[in-house]
Chain A
């Protein structure tokens, strides 16, 4: 089980674990060290890691992964409503149902490749979204979203003690997960670390090598004696399960599920995260997810007042137009900032933030003489 990872991989994994667990300290200076934001970063990091197993390794761009998040969320909330507020069965059910869902959608969508595959996944996700709003209302509670209520059966919980007053909270036995506490953050952090470990294993395994070979030259794979579709389907289901787990965690930290989680914008977001961080790299997607969630939460809370504070030292004649211009990019306009950053990254750094970091790293390493031969693109897996 533990063979096959190099020392570098172990180092990477330990460093990653340390950074994630120390997020409450590391993110303090940039004002992001509160559990509600950090757990979002972890959840979306997990989602993006899973997405990257499909997109980064096989090159198949799914535009419908949000559907799996939605299915995971609904499954988890139903588990809270029907069985118990304990998180374990909820996550297990989320994974189980998304795996089946991904198997069906993947089986159909993978009959095509390239843009047609993307369109098929998009169509499936939009179909799920619309169904959740309309005919599936008994299952999804339509526009209101699926919520807990006082008369939920919660059969397993009732076995042990009677209904307490008020709505119960999601728990892991005596630990409360929901409600924005550190327990919620650390649950998501552990899930992210576990997901990251599995992702390293997949990247370094023969299976990962096959997926990369499919991306590199699928036609050749067929003449090499591989039936590529089962490999693709396995990758699709694995990445769907990651998304489902992320959905389950969303429901665990905030026990309600709405159809908007399945909308195409949500599917697009994970594509942005992965590309921003670095497609096909191990940590890139997590960085991309953290950056986007940070922008979303921090930048969007800036208003004109903040800008006036920052540029207060300038004379009014310059300050006012500058603030008027910059206010387009903050507050509700933070999407504009994201758009600009995304464009710059795609144009100048097609490998995302990870490529930027690697270039900086190479800049420092090039000083050593005679090393130039070894550095440029000698490694197919980007050095994380």
Chain B
């Protein structure tokens, strides 16, 4: 196995009551790649993502990030290690302005989980604001920086959340259906945005329904069905895999 796997999901099992949500999941995400996880509804994609960020603990197995086991760590500790998740339903700070929404994660990146040094925080504020504005600009929301986040459209909220993730410059960015509910135009601009970050050594895991998004971005695709990995490989190879076609066509129609 190549040694530059940044994330290794090792033999993970997870059941909810009698339902086996994940079984025998063994997955490696290579540094610097964009790795898509696809599969029909209920395949266990979101469960897998939740296991990766510490929201759910696996029944057996472990998640290893950069050589360190992260299962059992607090969500904020996992974030501090460089894993950032962008949620499927936008998780933002509705009462804060757009700029503040991005400044909060920027401070988290700079100051760590808890560092109460007001003077230093004040001194760094211009730098933080610059970073935040830069990311707002990237997602095309800079002109609305003083608007309250709750007033945004759903698509804009998702872009805001993307900026909140990008400002932390994570080593691993987990995107849960980043384009769900977006218009074709917004979807394309999100794809362009994510492509822009490809060269920066940021590893991305994308969960997606939209095949157009998957095949425009992914270097590698893993297909889940009923909690198991049924295919894993480069996009073209996966596309032609009969098991995948069966899972998609047979499972949903």
Interface residues, chain A, with chain B CB atoms under 8 Å away: 1, 3-4, 201, 205-207, 209-210, 212-213, 215-217, 219-228, 230-231, 234, 377-380
Contacts and interface: CB of A to CB of B under 8 A. Distances in A.
Interface stretch (B14-22, B24-32, B85-93): B85-93
Given A225-B79, A225-B113, 14 more contacts: A4-B125, A206-B125, A206-B128, A213-B93, A213-B100, A217-B92, A224-B164, A225-B168, A226-B76, A227-B114, A228-B76, A230-B116, A378-B147, A380-B96
A234 B117 CA distance: 12
Contacts of A377: 148, 151
B47 interface: no
A93 B59 CA distance: 52
A216 B94 CA distance: 6
B96 A209 contact: yes
A222 B76 contact: yes
B217 interface: no
A379 B85 CA distance: 28
B210 to A, nearest CB: 24
A214 to B, nearest CB: 9
Interface string B74-106: 111001100001010001111111001001110
A164 B135 CA distance: 70
A375 to B, nearest CB: 12
Nearest to A4: B122
B65 interface: no
Contact of A226 (B96, B100, B108, B118): B108
A227 B73 CA distance: 12
- Chain B, interface size category, equals 35 or more
B96 A222 contact: no
B146 A378 contact: yes
Contacts of A215: 95
A158 B59 CA distance: 70
Given A225-B109, A225-B168, A227-B74, A207 B121 contact: yes
Contacts of B85: 223
A231 B76 CA distance: 13
A219 B97 contact: no
Contacts of A209: 96, 100, 103-104, 107
Contacts of B119: 1
B104 A210 contact: yes
A380 B74 contact: no
B79 A3 contact: no
A378 B114 CA distance: 30
B161 to A, nearest CB: 9
Contacts of A231: 114, 116
A210 B95 contact: no
Contacts of A216: 93-96
14 contacts: A4-B125, A205-B121, A206-B121, A209-B96, A209-B107, A217-B93, A223-B55, A224-B76, A225-B76, A227-B113, A227-B114, A230-B116, A231-B116, A379-B146
B118 A225 contact: no
Contacts of A201: 118
A225 B85 CA distance: 11
Contacts of B128: 206
Contacts of B107: 206, 209-210
Contacts of B121: 205-207
B229 interface: no
List the 4 closest pairs (A to B, CB-CB), nearest first. A225-B79, A225-B108, A216-B93, A227-B113
Given A225-B80, A226-B108, A220 B91 contact: yes
A215 B92 CA distance: 12
B91 A223 contact: yes
Interface in B56-84: 74-76, 79-80
